[in-house]
Amino acid sequence: MQKMRASLFVLSVSGLVSACSTTPPPPPPLAVSEITGKTCTDKPDLTKAIAMTPKRKAQWHSIATDVDAMSPCLNLEGKPSNYVLYTLPAAPSNHTLTIGGAYEVLRILGPLVSVLNADGQPIRTFTADRFANVGNTFGVQFRPSDDARFVLVQTNPQSAGVEVKAFETQLISQTNYSYNPYNYGSTAYTTQYGREGATVRKFSHEGVVSVTIQAVAGKIGLPNEK
Amino acid sequence: MGGNMRRFAILAVVSSLVLAGCVTPYQPVPFDRTATPVTKIAVVDNTLPPEVGTQKMATNGENMMSAASSAGLAGLLVGAVAAGIEAGIEAGQRERIQKALATQNFNGEAIFDAALEEALKGQNYTVAPIAIPRTKARELVVIPANEAAEPGSAVLDTLGFNYGYQLVGNSTQWRPFVTLHVRMVDHKDPKKILLDNKITYNPVIKSDVTISIPVDEAFAFQKIDDLEADPAKAAEGLKAALQATAKATADLLR
């Protein structure tokens, strides 16, 4: 009898558990080392640029733009290269930009960054040795000059497919809830645990472009705003 | 794979918490060598803490992160606060690591200075040391204006918050770490900040808009006993960490 009750209990617990289980998430996307079947242009389409200025006034703004099989591409020394174009806020030199390819589980968009003037002509480019790990981005950090209008991020055909190995340490924070019988509420508390391990990613033609815009004075595009 | 995704999500939450914790997010100043043609850099002396440090995080279930954010500190300083919390347990281990490194005549300051000088010279800067007393530990020095400074002269402070060996969690190993705040100002007008950034070697959290360098996986110790058994390797690991950090500093001045 005792045994049966126990097994019933086990059954009901497993029932509860299975009720909560969800389908596993899809596997993370893989690096794309070649662009095929696309017709590329020689110049970026200035009319399709994404605004860096947020809709709401802000001092700090982040943009993550997906680059995929549908993204437009440029001819770069005879090789195709996907691109995203951004329009700088007003008073460009009042901003610190951190811009590049975002770290994903198995890939990093391999970035090339150039600053364009109002005619779409490049006025500044960044050599490979200027790129660093900045936050969760492999990119460059700079303040544009006032004659700059656009920032062009394009994928680098030279680096696409190249492996990036890194050993990473992580401090992981989890929020838990405990029921408090005295006020019939629940209390949140946070616990931490550490983790470390080797990671292997590849530079990719597809992925995420990450942009962080910080206003030096005032707000983004509004240097005199309090 | 699912675990990795979840790890990302949790990390994102952590960094947003850290961001929410501080009132003004950190504002880096990127250096632009074309716009500001600096040729001569005076490097501030004595930038690292006098002794090798240790930090232990999430090894005893303490609530490090909330302690750090309530202290108003960004991700970079979580370690420093965490180190304070676990100070009691840790003090003995720190002393053992320091003793092990002392058997190798380890001099972190000398290693860092030499590597920084070499990297800056490699980028065609004229480099000289400058002695400015650091009145407060873990704070950038106050650089006096030098009217006589030639155009193109700058002063670089590479303030080391902490460096040494860290242990994150119970199932991980002791590995080297360095946390640095770098700032370069105009020598004639020190109010003109030419560069400001933070560099972490072996970060536990990749803080937004600051530089991180992944750890060299070769240098790891399961226990302090293992580190004591091979002090040469321990010294080499920390040397590699300091050299990589010095190089990253110079890379910000390209």
Give the pLDDT of residue A5: 52
B16 has pLDDT over 80: no
Pairwise CB contact (< 8 Å): A141 & B17: no
Q: Is there a contact between A75 and A114 (Cβ–Cβ < 8 Å)?
A: no
Hey, is the C-beta of B200 within 8 angstroms of any chain A C-beta?
no
Q: How many CB atoms sit inside 10 A of residue A40's CB?
A: 15
Per-residue model confidence as pLDDT tens digits over B167-211: 988 789 999 999 999 999 999 999 999 999 999 999 988 889 999
pLDDT score recorded for residue B207: 87
Name the band, by pLDDT with cuts 50, 70 and 90, for residue B18.
Answer: very low
Residue in B66, B209, B215 nearest the CB of A167:
B215
Report the complex ipTM.
0.82
- Examine the pLDDT at B76 and tell me if it is beyond 80: no
Q: Is residue A58 part of a domain?
A: yes
Strand segments, DSSP code E, in chain A are: 50-51, 60-67, 73-76, 79-87, 95-102, 107-109, 111-116, 122-125, 132-134, 137-142, 150-155, 163-180, 185-204, 207-215
Please report the residues numbered 43 through 82 in chain B whose beta carbons come closer than 8 angstroms to any beta carbon of chain A. Answer: 57-59, 61-66, 78
Does a structural domain hold residue A109?
Answer: yes
pLDDT band of residue B82 (cuts 50, 70, 90) is: low
The answer as to whether A48 is a domain residue is: yes
Per the model's pLDDT, the better-predicted residue between B19 and B105 turns out to be B105
The whole-number pLDDT of residue B12 equals: 42
Residue A145's CATH number: 2.60.120
The helix (run of H) or strand (run of E) holding residue B184 is strand B175-186
Which residues make Cβ contacts (< 8 Å) with residue A48, sequence separation at least 6? A72, A85
Contact between chains at A190 and B57 (C-beta distance less than 8 A)? no
Q: Is residue A63 part of a domain?
A: yes
**Is A80 within a domain?**
yes
A142 inside domain: yes
- The answer to whether A129 contacts B78, with C-beta atoms less than 8 Å apart, is no
Interchain proximity A129–B254, CB inside 8 Å: yes
Residue B223: Cβ within 10 Å count: 12
Report yes or no on A190 lying in a domain: no
Residue A95's domain spans which residues?
2-16+44-167+196-215
Question: How many residues would you count in chain A?
Answer: 226
Q: What is the secondary structure of A30-94 as a DSSP string?
A: PP-----S---BSS--GGGPEE-S-SS--SEEEEEEEE-TTS-EEEETTEEEEEEEEEPPSSGGG
How far off is chain A from B244, nearest CA to CA, in Å? 12
Take residue A156 and report the two structure tokens written for it: 């680098």
Determine how many CB atoms are found less than 10 A away from the CB of residue B93. 18
Q: Which residues of B touch A127 (CB under 8 A)?
A: 254
For A198, name the nearest residue in chain B, comparing CA atoms only.
Answer: B217
B5 Cβ neighbours under 8 A, 6+ residues apart: A25, A28, A105
**pLDDT at residue B64, as a whole number:** 47
Identify all chain B residues contacting A25, using CB atoms and an 8 Å cutoff: 2, 5
Total domains, chain A: 1
Summarised one tens digit per residue, pLDDT across range B86-135 is 555 577 889 999 999 999 999 999 999 999 999 999 999 999 999 998 88
Residue A200 domain-assigned? yes
**Per-residue confidence of chain A (226 residues) as pLDDT tens digits?**
455 454 444 444 444 444 555 778 888 999 999 999 999 999 999 999 999 999 999 999 999 999 999 999 999 999 999 999 999 999 999 999 999 999 999 999 999 999 999 999 999 999 988 999 999 999 999 999 999 999 999 999 999 999 999 999 988 777 777 676 666 777 676 677 788 999 999 999 999 999 999 999 999 999 998 8
Distance between CA atoms of residues B222 and B225, nearest Å: 8
For residue B63, how far is the Cα from the chain centroid?
A: 23
Test B8 with A191 for CB contact under 8 angstroms: no
Report pTM: 0.83
